[in-house]
Amino acid sequence: MSLDGLGLTKKTVGIVVAAVVFLVLLSTFLTFRRFPGTVISIAAEQQAGDADAAEPNRQGKGRQGGRPTHKNPAFGQRKKERNRMVAGQIEQRAVSDRDVLRAMRTVPRHSFVMKYDQRRAYRDHPLHIGLGQTISQPYIVAYMTEVLKLEPNSTVLEIGTGSGYQAAVCAEIAEEVFTIEILEKLAESAKKRLAELGYQNVYVKAADGYFGWPENGPFDAIIITAAAGLISPPLIEQLKPGGRMILPLGSPFGAQTLVLVTKDAEGKVHTQRLLAVRFVPMTGKVAEEKGRRKK
């Protein structure tokens, strides 16, 4: 082969290589123009995966909580009693929300009562939990929860943690539950109990519930588990438009009625009386305000 022929061959190879490179670049360019989000989406998915790996329990609101784990042995105990409780005490009284019924079948009520009362944990009445406080009758817990119409992305404020049972029931349905207990001892024990049971989406604070928890509001739902003579204005402010609040309203030593408070899209508040109840009194600022009004 002559030198001239060899030169021609090298030139030909060069042209072919250049053509291939050009076609590859052109194909990539056209693909990106047709699907401009492809490369960005892959990068975004990678970043999301890295974030999930670093903080597997982070929720939409950026807090540390997560759904209840149900790993504690208590969830596997006394299931038949819970099923009987739901069938006989709750469903027969027309509570029909499937999420509420599931939550009532799931939460181990015997973990939220005094040791000497554990045998009576699934009976149809409230029980004392110490310091003059009670855990509500199972039907009332289910009824109040159903009235709130909780969704999986709901944020709930509870006033009156007690032993933590109502908070646990709400946490089975809602995304997050913020619960306030004025008695520090009860708040501490409820916080410990809920953590042991795996309720990572419940946040407990020892404080006066009259003022609510404004830094974590507004809330989709507010539930008050102690009787008050008036509705706290700060709680009304912390209820979202479209939100629902339920509370026992009335005298601690007289007639009490469960009242549903709703706020419409314009911020106007509406109330509806539901049924007669008996709750322990709400203490703190709300009691002082009631006393001032009487004077």
Residue 267 has pLDDT above 70, yes or no: yes
The pLDDT tens digits for 197-232 are 999 999 999 999 999 999 999 999 999 999 988 999
pLDDT at 1 over 70: no
Higher pLDDT, 121 or 22: 121
Task: Render pLDDT for 37-87 as a digit per residue (tens, 0 to 9).
Answer: 323 222 333 333 333 332 223 344 446 568 899 999 999 999 999 999 999
Average of per-residue pLDDT across 176-197: 98
Give the span between the Cα atoms of 107 and 169, in whole angstroms: 6
pLDDT value at 121 more than 60: yes
| Rounded CA separation 292/295 (Å) | 5
CA distance 136 to 70: 22
Please give the pLDDT value at position 252.
74
Residue 32 and residue 232: Cα distance in Å, rounded?
Answer: 58
- Residue 174: alpha-carbon gap to chain centroid: 3
Exposed e or buried b per residue across 90-103, where buried means at least 16 C-beta atoms within 10 angstroms of its C-beta: beeeebebebbbeb
Per-residue b/e over 141-166, b at no fewer than 16 CB within 10 Å?
bbbbbbbbebeeebbbbbbbbbbbbb
**What six digits make up the tokens of 294?**
């009487």
Q: Does domain 73-294 have CATH number 2.30.40.10?
A: no
246 against 63, higher pLDDT: 246
Q: What is the pTM of this model?
A: 0.77
Cα angle, residue 91 at apex, residues 87 and 97 outer, rounded to 5°: 125
User: How distant is the alpha carbon of residue 148 from its chain centre?
Assistant: 12
Catalytic annotation, pick one of 136, 154, 163, 232: 136
Is 232 among the catalytic positions?
Answer: no
Q: Is the pLDDT score of 111 beyond 80? A: yes
Q: What is the pLDDT of residues 248-264, one digit of tens each?
A: 999 877 889 999 999 99
pLDDT in the model for residue 120: 97
256 or 18: which leads in pLDDT: 256
Count of positions (residues) in the chain: 295
